[in-house]
């Protein structure tokens, strides 16, 4: 905003977040400025606490407030079942669905050579170390169904072959409530290939 460099700087900072454009950032800033300043203070405190307390789990690379995350500390988890994911947000989605009782390994991204992300930039060495120690009977690869996610899945599968008897991949296909005419060819292909006995 012309003449208000501090407002413009705040809008620019917020608009860098995924899914937040300049208009959304502008609305957020105007909302914060309409109040008595307590909202801004609460936001600053929350972000500062986040910066000071949240780190990555030393074991699985999930978000944590202690040395290990809550999943790694849970003795009820099935240690022989390990799910490999791209990001902590993927872990949270699976946990929210309540469909997995094993342990996790977060890669911190996916292979993307065009953007300079190779195996050395991901948590693949620590995954190999975990697998070499033994005890994992099934490795579930849950990378996203993108070109980079598929490349990462293949890399993880190849790397884990000497250490794990069973390597599986999440099935992809038709979403619940979806209609066939609106699905892309790749989704339909995956659904057809992954069909099962009815």
Mean pLDDT of 16-38: 93
Instruction: Render pLDDT for 3-14 as a digit per residue (tens, 0 to 9).
Output: 799 999 999 999
Rounded to the nearest 10°, the torsion over CA 140, 145, 147, 150 is: 10
> What per-residue confidence (pLDDT) applies to 96?
92
The superfamily in CATH containing domain 5-53 is: RecR Domain 1 (1.10.8.420)
> What per-residue confidence (pLDDT) applies to 180?
66
Q: Which residues partner with 94 through β-bridges? A: none
CATH of range 77-169; options 3.20.20.80, 2.40.50.100, 3.40.1360.10, 3.40.920.10: 3.40.1360.10
What gap in Å lies between CA 82 and CA 103, rounded to an integer? 5
> What per-residue confidence (pLDDT) applies to 75?
98
Close Cβ partners of 194 (under 8 Å, ≥ 6 residues apart): 171, 172, 173
Instruction: Render pLDDT for 179-198 as a digit per residue (tens, 0 to 9).
Output: 767 777 877 787 777 776 65
> What per-residue confidence (pLDDT) applies to 2?
72
Whole-number average pLDDT of the chain: 92
Domain-by-domain residue ranges, the chain? 5-53, 77-169
> What per-residue confidence (pLDDT) applies to 126?
98
> What per-residue confidence (pLDDT) applies to 151?
95
> What per-residue confidence (pLDDT) applies to 91?
96
């Amino acid at each position: 905003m012309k003449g208000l460099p501090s407002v413009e700087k705040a809008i620019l900072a917020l608009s860098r977040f995924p899914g937040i454009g300049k208009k959304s950032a502008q609305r957020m800033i105007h909302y914060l400025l309409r109040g008595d300043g307590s909202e801004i203070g609460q936001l600053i405190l929350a972000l500062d606490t986040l910066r000071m307390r949240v780190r990555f789990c030393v074991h699985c690379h999930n978000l944590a407030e202690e040395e290990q995350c809550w999943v790694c500390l849970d003795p009820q988890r099935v240690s022989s079942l390990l799910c490999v994911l791209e990001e902590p947000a993927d872990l949270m989605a699976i946990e929210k669905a309540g469909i997995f009782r094993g342990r996790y390994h977060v890669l911190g991204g996916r292979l993307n050579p065009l953007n300079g992300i190779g195996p050395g930039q991901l948590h693949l060495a620590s995954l190999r170390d975990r697998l070499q120690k033994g005890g994992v009977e099934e490795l579930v690869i849950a990378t996203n169904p993108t070109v980079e996610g598929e490349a990462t899945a293949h890399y993880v599968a190849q790397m884990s072959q000497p250490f794990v008897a069973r390597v599986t991949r999440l099935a992809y296909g038709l979403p619940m409530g979806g209609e066939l005419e609106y699905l892309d060819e790749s989704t339909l292909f995956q659904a057809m290939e992954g069909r099962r006995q009815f």
